[in-house]
Amino acid sequence: MRFKFNKQNVLILLSLLIFAAASIIRFCWLNADPPLFFTGLGQALQTDPYNITYFARNFALFGDSDIFDYPRLIVFKYSLMSLFSYIFFAIGGVSRFTANLAAAVISLGSIFIYTRALQTQIGKYCLIAALLLTANTIMIVYGKLPFLENGLIFLCAVLYFVVFKYSGQLSGLIITGVLITLCGLSGKMFGLMMIFPVCAALFFMSKKTATKKIVVVVASSFVSFLILAFSFYGTRIDAVFQFLGEQTAGVYGIPVGLTSPVKFLEQLTTFTGNTKLFYFSPMLLVLLIIALFIVINSPRLREKIRSNLPLLFNLVWLVSGFLLLSVFTYRPLRYHLFLVFPMAGVISIVMSEDGLKSLNPRIRIVNSLLTLVVVWYLAVQAAFIGYLAFLKKYPPDEISWYALFPALIVSLLVMIYKKYLNGIVRRRMEILIICGVLYVAHQGFLIYKWHDTISYTMHQAGNDLKGILSDNCRLSGSYAQALSIDNAIRSVTFIPGPLGEDKNRVCDWDITHLAIEEGNVKSISKYIPQLAGSRRVAEYYLKDSKVGIYRIKCRTGRDYAMTDFERAVDHMTSPRYPDSIYYYLTRFLEHYPESKAGLRLLADYYFMTQNIDKIIPTFNRLFDFYPNDFWLYFECGRTCYMLARVTGNPGMSYSAERYFDLAREKNPTMDKIITVARKRIDSMIR
């Protein structure tokens, strides 16, 4: 069979090539940090993925999934992501690479299953959804990390496939109910809302049997929830509800969107703005708004939605998920993975409709109100994109109300002159191609930008801990799992915080070290008294966070034997015996010559003892081992700048600028940090 080079076939071929390239990228750089430009999104991107693999890692390494007998995290134990991680750990060993590989496989698998289901409904147009999902930088970045959300969307994709393939059979309906339960128990608890799109689709599939089918699905969901919940958690099920209560209202308070109608509207319109979803993928927003506008203003709207069950399912999935997640105070970017799938589904289904030629010319109240909501949301999101792109900050809190009046005017004009917008419907494929090209180009640029400034600080820090801490250490803190996934250190994520009732667990578990952000030390000391007066053993700059490794004071000397590195650190902070520093440090570096913390301490030792000629060669050794670590270049530049101010040596001043420039080259966001460092040194040395 010969390939015909017509316009349609060429577009399909290009789409398949982009799909293949984007799929391959998911398996590249599995040990790398998330992109440096993913800043301002909190530490969860670094810490949370490896909390999910906690039980799988323990079982693979120690033969016991809960070595600290800590039920608070049991909600992660039976997640689909935990199961996949254990399978990959059993095959390839425990490491960041295998954990992230498991995530990449399950993420790509969910896209394949979902688009396969769409293919049976809209044919070749399923490639639209495939491209939007595979080429999306957010989906690639989060799809490489073992988040619960990756397991959830996999289950949602399977559920979507089963509903439209097997809902005519009793066994298919029972499986549908079980899958809804698994979306909640083995994905995320908000995954239980998938019962809404399922019931909506079943209701309009066949009204004669709709009631029976819905009853079977609901009953199956209810019974399977009881069976699986008690099978998974048993007597510890109270810990699950305690954890969920803390995450929904306990830590963050009552969801802001439920406190008043005004706050609800603010939360609704700003949803996805604070997390930069559409800042990273603006063309997805454009295509979504066009698709929703066409649906809202289509002739015979109700009949259209009722007759197009895939569209109905994806719309209910999108709208119900949007309404549920938008009200919460805590709504991180990874939650939006759950909504990107129905967004892509709605866009591809609307674009595939050949029979739609024009908009409904009549002005109806429902259509007008829905159009206003869509335009208002677009205006607010455009404000977020503009502020972040040009002013490098978020818009004011009142942005929803600032955008309302322009949205009213635009909506009114749209409804009055709707007949002139029929070209959007007739030429939607041309619009799709233009937006698609811009979408792929922008996402490709972001991926290139990630590759150009790629770093491996978390992987390197995890490997570094193998040497600087003893075999019998016990690590805790918010970064404990993120820094132990690459080694065999016994660790547990435990930060009690203001709700913590387990403040004594740190001593009960014989914790020897904490891995926490340095900016949180003072606040955490209120809840972990042992942290006060403890020794900072090492520090690592992980992506955009400075993390310290602290040795708990009450445990030192009792059941923990310090390493040569730690002894050198102790002498460094009390330098009465400088020869001891050098003795322990050189003995340590004989065994771990590539240790980042060890070589960094050696450079500090040379600075303290005024062996200036040896400082830059020591940093050069670090650069040989860690050529992409922007923080090392910054520290070298800062050291040279300090020496230049002390000695007046112009050569040191030149070196400082050279290393500062290298730090900026590796991470453009370093400019502000460099400026602050200069001012501090200038204020100390006048």
Token code pair at residue 379: 């205006």
Identify the pLDDT of residue 247. 57
Tell me which long-range contacts 369-376 makes (C-beta under 8 A, separation of at least 24): 370/296, 371/293, 371/296, 371/297, 371/411, 371/414, 371/415, 372/407, 372/408, 372/411, 374/289, 374/292, 374/293, 374/296, 375/407, 375/410, 375/411, 375/414, 376/269, 376/400, 376/403, 376/404, 376/407, 376/411
Of residues 546 and 2, which shows the higher confidence score? 546
In three-state secondary structure terms, 535 is strand
**pLDDT score, position 350:** 92
473-501 pLDDT, tens digit per residue, is 999 988 999 999 999 999 998 755 544 55
Per-residue pLDDT at 349 exceeds 50: yes
Nearest CA among 471, 453, 469, 470 for reference residue 461: 469
Q: For 171-200, write each residue's pLDDT tens digit.
A: 999 999 999 999 999 999 999 999 999 999
Residue range 56-62: average pLDDT? 96
Q: What is the mean pLDDT of residues 18-22?
A: 83
Q: Is the pLDDT of residue 5 over 60?
A: no
Q: Distance between CA 568 and CA 204 in Å, rounded?
A: 72
Mean pLDDT of 373-382: 97
In tens, the pLDDT along 87-98 reads: 999 999 999 999
**Beta carbons of 665 and 628 less than 8 angstroms apart:** no
User: Tens of pLDDT along 421-442?
Assistant: 888 888 888 899 999 999 999 9
Q: Distance of CA 383 to CAs 91, 170, 269, 402, 405, Å? A: 48, 49, 11, 10, 14
pLDDT, tens only, 582-626: 999 999 999 999 999 999 999 999 999 889 999 999 999 999 999
Q: Give the neighbor-by-neighbor strand order of the sheet with 474-476.
A: 490-492, 474-476, 513-517, 545-551, 535-542
Q: What is the pLDDT of residue 503?
A: 62
589/572 Cα distance (integer angstroms): 16
Residue 365 to residues 320, 360, 368, Cα–Cα distance (Å): 22, 13, 5
H helix intervals, 93-194: 96-122, 126-134, 137-143, 148-166, 170-182
Q: Please report which helix (H) or strand (E) contains residue 350, including its range.
A: helix 337-351
Q: Tell me the pLDDT tens digit for each residue of 562-579.
A: 999 999 999 887 767 678
Would you state the pLDDT for residue 7? 61
* pLDDT at residue 48, as a whole number: 92
In angstroms, the CA 194 to CA 631 distance is: 44
Domain limits, the chain: 11-361+417-450, 456-562
Q: What's the whole-model pTM score?
A: 0.93
Q: Which residue has the higher pLDDT, 353 or 382?
A: 382
Determine the Cα–Cα distance for residues 460 and 307; give it in Å rounded to an integer.
55
Three-class DSSP category at 187: helix
Measured distance CA(265)–CA(407) in Å, rounded: 14
Supply the pLDDT for residue 252: 63
**Token pair of 437 as six digits:** 């090209």
Q: Report which of residues 443 and 535 the model is more confident about.
A: 443
Q: Tell whether the model's pLDDT for residue 226 goes beyond 50.
A: yes
Q: Which residue has the tokens 């150009």?
A: 452
- At 130, is the pLDDT very low, low, confident or very high (cuts 50, 70, 90)? very high
Can you tell me the mean pLDDT for 503-514?
79
pLDDT of residue 72: 76
User: Which carries the bigger pLDDT value, residue 538 or residue 11?
Assistant: 538
Q: Is the pLDDT of residue 557 over 60?
A: no
Q: Model confidence over 619-670: pLDDT tens digits?
A: 999 999 999 999 999 999 999 999 999 888 888 999 999 999 999 999 988 9
Cβ count within 10 A of residue 508: 10
Radius of gyration over alpha carbons of the chain, in Å? 28
In the prediction, which pLDDT does 499 show?
A: 44
For residues 462 and 485, give the distance between their C-alpha atoms in angstroms, rounded to a whole number.
Answer: 7
pLDDT at 582: 92
pLDDT confidence tier of residue 246, bands split at 50, 70 and 90 = low
The percentage of the chain sitting over the pLDDT mark of 90, rounded to a whole number, equals: 66
* pLDDT: which is higher, 353 or 399: 399
Report in angstroms the alpha-carbon separations of 499 from 148, 250, 251: 23, 8, 7
456-562: CATH topology:
D-Maltodextrin-Binding Protein; domain 2 (3.40.190)
Tell whether the model's pLDDT for residue 542 goes beyond 60.
yes
For residue 305, what pLDDT band results from cuts at 50, 70 and 90? confident
Q: Are 467 and 598 in contact (CB under 8 A)?
A: yes
Most confident stretch, 2-16, 94-108, 480-494, 542-556: 94-108
Q: Which of 150-154, 351-355, 422-426, 680-684 has the highest average model confidence (pLDDT)? A: 150-154
Split at pLDDT 50, 70, 90, the class of 55 is: very high
Q: Judge whether residue 233 has pLDDT over 90.
A: no
pLDDT at 509: 82
CB neighbours of 662 closer than 8 A, spacing ≥ 6? 630, 633, 637
Tokens of 590: 């004989």
Q: How many CB atoms lie within 10 A of CB 621?
A: 16
Report residue 163 as tokens: 């509903």
Angle between helices 615-625 and 630-647 (to 10 degrees): 170
State the pLDDT at residue 669. 84
What is the 8-class DSSP label of residue 233? H
How far apart are alpha carbons 473 and 493 in whole angstroms? 14
pLDDT of 495: 57
Give the model's confidence band at 1: pLDDT under 50 very low, under 70 low, under 90 confident, else very high: very low
- Across residues 142-159, what is the average pLDDT? 97
- State the Cα torsion 665-671-675-676 to the nearest 10°: -120
Q: Decide which of 602 and 526 is more confident.
A: 602
Beta strands in 526-625 (DSSP E): 535-542, 545-551
Phi/psi of residue 493, each to 5°? -80, 115
Nearest to 233, CA basis, from 7, 68, 72: 72
- Average pLDDT value over all residues in the chain: 89
